[in-house]
Structure 1
């Protein structure tokens, strides 16, 4: 390698190191700031959570520029976790959208400096009509910090931008603080899997949060046989059911066993069709509650190496109300 090639290679290696050094510096600065934020959460944060939880109406989030982008995400996170919320652009608020803000609302205004001029009309409006105002800012002595009912003050920190100008650390802290508010509210309100699924019916989250009762086959479709039946009859019912198994019931409609393809192979003999079903069945089959997550059912089937589960109500774990096959989970996007 000649000198010029060596110099170019060394220059590239140096540039690559500079890129990684800059990137790692950002991560370290912002990580340190987030850890500092955790220690700054105090009674003011609790007051903000209770204020939002007690509001009969929506949370309205507002902010300008990068704070506005973060505000939109905070509003979306609140809405998806059981706290109705939407974003109002402060510029639009000054041109009619203040009509969206009512006494039933709580306003979260975001401004790192606390002096964002575009927020002034909305802040004044909340003060005039006594609408609860939560401010998120890095300066407690700022206009927003002083005028808010509750000021959530970000810790003193340096922006990760080497020029100290581009909002980086400050927007990360605001985003984390918004997530903290949403999750604290979720816990405070007792928000459940069911509620989360109601707000996320589509996509992967909706699939994962499906309940067994949502995708199971009804009792009418269950493949069943009664104690005392001969295997010749059971085989016909098993083939017609299409699930590769038959549940065995006693005279009280209680599930006492199951016949699977494996049971057939283990008991195959010349007089097989004349055997009583109880001679072939496996006793105490596994079941799943109708209210369980479909993902739990899939995990149980996978770990137990079985293809189906009888579904029971929580009040009676031996009287099935339906049947769930492995393919039902896969067809519903549960995996």
Structure 2
């Protein structure tokens, strides 16, 4: 027998996909439906146990220590991250590592949130005596209120599901989805209870596009002083066009003697004006400008400026102070360059 023939014979035959596209879609839909039902059933579990858990976490002088093993551990890690980013200091502790030294991370000022679908996870139960000895409040999230973990908890949140989405009933699917949704319910409830704001959220998300959207204000990117295009309302169209060409923002503010905004003239206004055959050397800009234009304050979030432009289908904004005096200008390209997309 040739070597290639031997290797070919030794390899097990590859499993070919025998399902049609329609069957695959039907299976996927079934999973979504089962998990959606599991999440919907949680509405009946928002009871006094849930509110007790919220109050324990709200009153926590230390941190919420979230723990769980296996798939529950992955969900616990995500819940800890969500809590931490929404105003509730929290971190994840692996229960297996906890019994080998990491229990020192838990103090008497903390609250422990333990996840276990069965409520009998050995690694979690092993650390319970220490948690109890510290007098730390224990919140359990399990699928079995009568389990050891459920019975020993200060507050127990029931996240049991009727069935897993896995056709074998083995892989944690619906149960982990339900636990994740309940974790979000806790985090958002605490967010509202603390009066957590968008600015607070921004402070914990300074990096990446999210940080830019939340932290950057109009004042950080607007053009001011000599860079801001502006002409008086008695200026000729030709003067306005020269100002637009020099400042390169595709617009110019039209202001009165006190620098208060009377209107705006944009590239779009220019195209509409040319269709009406105005003499640019004789016509005043006030005759063709857009009066009562949209303006924005310098302290406004840059992301809100983007939203205004998109909603009104405009490409530029004049920035004004409290007296509606023009103090700056910006256009869509400024927002795009700043990463506000």
Length-normalised TM-score, structure 1: 0.83
What value does the CA root-mean-square deviation take over the aligned residues? 2.9
* Mapped contact 2:232–2:254 kept (Cα < 8 A): yes
1:55 aligned residue:
60
1:152 aligned residue:
157
Q: Which residue of 288, 293, 301 maps to 2:296?
A: 288
| Distance in 2 separating the partners of 1:294 and 1:136 | 40
Residue 173 (structure 2) pairs with residue 168 (structure 1)? yes
SS in 2 for 1:179: helix
1:308 aligned residue:
316
CA distance change for structure 1 residues 218 and 269 in 2, over 3 Å: closer, same or farther?
A: closer
Write out per-residue CA displacement over residues 264-306 of structure 1, whole angstroms, 9 at most, x where no aligned residue: 5527655x33554434433222112334443443343345443
CA distance change for structure 1 residues 317 and 185 in 2, over 3 Å: closer, same or farther?
A: farther
Write out per-residue CA displacement over residues 21-76 of structure 1, whole angstroms, 9 at most, x where no aligned residue: 65444333322222211112101111211221222322211011111111111112
* Mapped contact 2:250–2:267 kept (Cα < 8 A): yes
| Distance in 2 separating the partners of 1:184 and 1:134 | 16
| Distance in 1 separating the partners of 2:264 and 2:222 | 18
2:340 aligned residue:
334
1:189 aligned residue:
194
Displaced runs of 4 or more, over 6 A:
11-18
CA distance change for structure 1 residues 102 and 321 in 2, over 3 Å: closer, same or farther?
A: farther
Length-normalised TM-score, structure 2: 0.82
Give, in angstroms, the shift of residue 166 of structure 1. 2.7
* Mapped contact 1:243–1:325 kept (Cα < 8 A): yes
1:6 aligned residue:
none
1:253 aligned residue:
259
1:212 aligned residue:
218
CA distance change for structure 1 residues 12 and 167 in 2, over 3 Å: closer, same or farther?
A: closer
Write out per-residue CA displacement over residues 163-219 of structure 1, whole angstroms, 9 at most, x where no aligned residue: 433322222211111111112122222222223333333445345444433432345
1:221 aligned residue:
227
| Distance in 2 separating the partners of 1:22 and 1:263 | 55
Could you list the runs of 5+ residues in structure 2 that have no partner in the other structure?
1-15
SS in 2 for 1:165: coil
| Distance in 1 separating the partners of 2:265 and 2:96 | 69
1:278 aligned residue:
286
SS in 2 for 1:86: strand
| Distance in 1 separating the partners of 2:227 and 2:144 | 65
